[in-house]
């Protein structure tokens, strides 16, 4: 995925609960430094592993039981958790987590 913005055109890139759905997250995250101006910020949030969130895990398991053919529900179980190492591999120049 290429972001439709010019090089060094943004002070901030903000992504709300979407990073974990990038199919090729290292490739797609590598676009962000390209569009950020020097000193720019990439701000995002993401879900952590379901195993650490009992409420979300119970809610999702209940939903899957009630709708066993729901592919989107099953996809939520497979959510990608992005590590600091993967952000580094995506060429994030200075990383603060």
Q: What is the pLDDT of residue 63?
A: 82
* Distance (Å, whole) CA 37 – CA 59: 41
Domains in the chain: how many in total? 1
> pLDDT digit string (tens) for 17-74?
666 666 666 777 788 888 889 888 888 776 667 777 787 778 888 888 888 887 777 7
DSSP annotation string for 65-77: HH-TT-HHHHHHH
Residue 34: give the domain boundaries: 10-89
Residue 97 lies in a domain: no
**Cα-Cα-Cα-Cα dihedral of 55, 60, 65, 71, to 10°?**
180
pLDDT given at position 86: 64
User: Distance between CA atoms of 81 and 49, rounded to whole angstroms?
Assistant: 7
Of 11, 13, 17, 18, residue with least CA distance to 43: 13
Q: Note the pTM of the prediction, 2 decimals.
A: 0.53
- Please state the rounded mean pLDDT for residues 83-89: 64
Whole-number Cα distances in Å, 63 to 24, 56, 57, 66, 87 = 27, 10, 10, 5, 32
Residue range 38-51, pLDDT digits in tens: 888 888 776 667 77
The answer to whether residues 13 and 28 touch, using CB atoms and an 8 Å cutoff, is no
Residue 1 lies in a domain: no
Q: Is residue 4 part of a domain?
A: no
């Amino acid at each position: 995925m290429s972001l439709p913005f010019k090089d060094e055109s943004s002070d901030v890139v903000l992504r709300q609960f979407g990073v974990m759905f990038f199919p090729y997250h290292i490739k797609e995250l590598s676009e962000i430094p390209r569009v950020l101006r020097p000193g720019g910020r990439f701000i995002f949030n993401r879900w952590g592993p379901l195993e650490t969130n009992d409420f979300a895990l119970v809610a999702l398991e209940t939903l899957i039981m009630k709708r066993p053919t729901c592919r989107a529900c099953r996809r939520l179980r497979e959510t990608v958790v992005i590590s600091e190492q993967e952000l580094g591999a995506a060429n994030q120049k200075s990383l603060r987590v």
